[in-house]
Amino acid sequence: MKKIMLPGAMLLAGLLVIPGNFRLAGPALAQSQSQTMENKKQQELQQKRQEEWEYLDQKEKNQHPGVRYPEAVKRQEDAIKRQKDAERRLRELEEEEK
């Protein structure tokens, strides 16, 4: 009788242990799915930001020339002023060397 009960008890214990291991695998699978969901959300957010930047760039390019022209003139005047200052400093340095 003991010979029959011992393997039966071991079989029963094994069956109880195995489903316990499957329960531990469940949270691991759930975590991996949540990581893929986070990655997917992150990619969607990145794509949305990229689309917003492209939209703003297009909007700026399509802006009325009357708005862009004065800004371009101001940038050009600033560049000329910086160039003159750089040339003046270069001449001063050359005079100090002599």
Decide if pLDDT at 14 tops 70.
no
Question: Do 72 and 37 reside in the same domain of the chain?
Answer: no
Kindly indicate the confidence band of residue 23, based on its pLDDT and cuts at 50, 70 and 90: low
Residue range of the domain that includes 89: 64-98
HEC per residue, 6-17: HHHHHHHHHHHH
Question: Do 52 and 69 reside in the same domain of the chain?
Answer: no
Question: Do 69 and 57 reside in the same domain of the chain?
Answer: no
Question: Do 6 and 21 reside in the same domain of the chain?
Answer: yes
Question: Do 2 and 48 reside in the same domain of the chain?
Answer: yes
Question: Do 39 and 81 reside in the same domain of the chain?
Answer: no
57-83 tens-digit pLDDT: 888 777 776 777 888 899 999 999 999
- What pTM does this model have? 0.34
CA distances from 6 to 11, 16, 18, 20 (A): 9, 15, 18, 21
